[in-house]
Structure formats: structure tokens, C-alpha cells
Structure 1
């Protein structure tokens, strides 16, 4: 999706998970629409490559979103570099999968900490800076799996459901400070994180067969709705979830047990 406006001109944004996939797509779209962006990610090489591409409008900050000091520092860079924070997109996430009866405790902890705790820590420090300056907008990236279970995906689905409710709770608390909080729930998106699924012919066919629009999303399909929720066009929207899945939610998940 190509930017056609300058609606984020003069705005400062934070994007977690910025080095690849949905986070990189959101970052590119923000810069194309006039924003200056601080991107956080554990992938320092990916951040450098994005910085080389986007120039002075982007500042990459190596960040583990499960470590509060690092998250606080990332948000502080936005303030120190450009003096404000207007919008934030919390994208960072990953998963270690396995059936409930077999899943290792550390795999559960890894997934829930990254997918849910990382969202909390990011929103916490973003909101503090926005509150100081009179408002802003935060968009959390949850997942279709907040609503639809996936065989072997209990930690991911549970954490993404938690992120959706965190969105609603944060929206309730922060509205009085002029801060809106909403969530995007993507379905299958063609990113490096899903490359293994999509490279498997039968598994890809099983997924695509459940998506009425007949294809995975690309990152632009997610960036557009995410930026809408952060824009002034959505100024009366807070505490809501926008499912962006090509209609997948209305058909349900394929049985993935044969692949695990």
C-alpha cells in the first residue's frame, strides 16, 4: 500500500519489532507519511539496514521489549532526539509452540513475556511520555488468535488475547489523558516469521483454504489499518479491536495437529 498523504508530518512515532515484517512495514509507511520514527528491535543488523534505507527520519534502538530498562530507554530516545512522542505501534512478538500437555515451561514463559509483557512495558512508558504532552495514540498488534485457537499455540493465543484486553483496559485508564489505545488483530501475514509455514505446500494450502480473500496479507495490508487507528481520522475510536485477516475469522483455523 502506497502512502498518499502527509497526515503524520511533524509527528514522532515509536515502533517495536521494527526491524522486519509488520513492524518494518509500519515504519516505512510512517516515514512515507511524514513521521520521524524510533524503531526498537533485538535485531540490530535489521535496524541498521532500515536506518540506511530511511535516513535521518529513523533512529534504531536495539531493544528487548521484555526488559523494562531497555524499553524506557527506547522511548526516551524519541524524546531526546525529537522532543515528543505522538503515536506508538507495539508490534514485537514471536512464539514457541507445542501442545499443552507437552509444552515446556520456559517456552510458555518466553512467548507470554514477549507477546504480553512486552506490550505492557511498551505501553507503560509510551503512555507516560504522551501523558506529559497532553495525549497521543497507541496501537497494539494482537492477533486473530486472540479470538481463534490454534493447535499447539496455547501460549501465543493466550498472550494475544491478553494483549487485546490490555488494549481495552489501557484505553479506559488513559482516555482522561487524551491517549487513545486500539488493537489490530492480523491473520496470516507474509513475513520472515511465517516463511516456514508458507513454504510448506500442504500447510500453505490449508491456511489459504480458510481465508475467504484467498491469500495471506502483505505487511502493507496491516500497516494501512494500523496507521488509520493512530491518525486523526480515528480520533473518536478507542478501546477497540480491528481484525485484519481477509475474512479468516469467519471460517476458523485448519487442524494443525498433523504438522506437530
Structure 2
């Protein structure tokens, strides 16, 4: 069987399995998502009472800007340990001479993400597929099992996050005391960020207003004097990107 026939067959299977999966857990009812690469947990939620957790395996990413696909096993910035499971997909591609399964990255379109996810669902025995959009990057996840909310993994996950009254549990972020959703004040960051992006062990979401940036430059960076003006505030990741959108675009 050539690749086109094989992939078409698995896509048809995915459509059937995904439809049943979505109906079983009412997947489309969840409006928000958050995933943690270290624990490899995906949280879908509307509130702290209306949520569900999944154990996932990262399949790969599609770049809307570059129009390329990258397998997770090829992605050196991906921190999920389970991405090694995707090497079985690569080996299957080598055995059957399926180029898209062998190459770490290649030119692609949106359909490739679902096509390749369908193959992973079949070969790795997942229960469904979920896609998250983070800026110009689409990340495909193979969902392996529903995780109990009282499991040690979920409890640990919640300890590593902060609880926001508006957004529930998500990663912590730090901003100066001047940033708000009332008056745009500029938005300076420690590094370029996108919602849902993976962070290094030493990295945090950090931002400050334009006035704080002027003071930082006057003092040649952050130090005891320049930080007196900032009044660092702890917020959640979702609040952080609401502030970023408001203060940059208005």
C-alpha cells in the first residue's frame, strides 16, 4: 500500500474515532486549554469545577508562517519525554518508505497535521487528537488517557501552577504594577512570547511598561534601584496575554 492510500485510510478512521471521542466527553464544550510539557498533561476547562485532564504525547507542530511540519522527536526545544514514542512512527516510515514519516521537518499544509495525527492515533493507540493554536504555531497532541482530577500527577500539576480567580489554574507570570486593561502603557518583555509556548527551566513570562523600560535603561538593566519603580506583580499566563494584547495593540 502506498502512502496516499495508507494515510487516506487512517484519516477516515480518525474521523470516526474523533467524532465518537468528542461526543463521549463533550469536547467542544471546553472553551479554554492549558498544557504543561513537563507533566505532559493537557487541561481543558471552563472553570475549576468544569474541567478535564488528559495524558498526552506530542505529535508535532505546523508553522503557519513557514508552512512546515516538524515532528516532536526532531524538535530539540520540545521538553516532553514521551516524544521518544514518535520514533516508532519514524521507524514505520523507514520500513515502508513513507517520506513524511521519515523526515524530521518538511514543507506542509494544515491537512498534513491531521493526516499525520491519524497515523499516530492508529500506531500508538491513542484515544483522540487535540490541536492547540499558539500564535503562528499549531501543536498536535495524541491523547492517551483521561487523567483523574485527584491523581498524584494532577495534584503536582496544580502545585506548579497558580490559581487565578478569572482563569483557574495556569502558569505564573510577572508584570510591573503599572500594566492594566484601562490605559495602554506599552509592553516590554524579557523575551518574545506566545501563549502556550514552552519555557526553559529558568524562564518565566516577564513584562513591564514603557516607563519601566526607560528606568531600566537608565540603570543599565534590572538592579535594586531600577526594580524599586516596577512593583512586580504575580498573575497567571492568561492574564499576561490579555495585558499584552491590550497594551500593544491600542
Superposed pair shares fold, TM > 0.5: no
Which has more strand, going by share of residues?
A: 2
TM-score, with length taken from structure 2: 0.28
TM-score by length of 1: 0.28
Structure (1/2) with the larger helix percentage = 1
Max Rg structure: 2
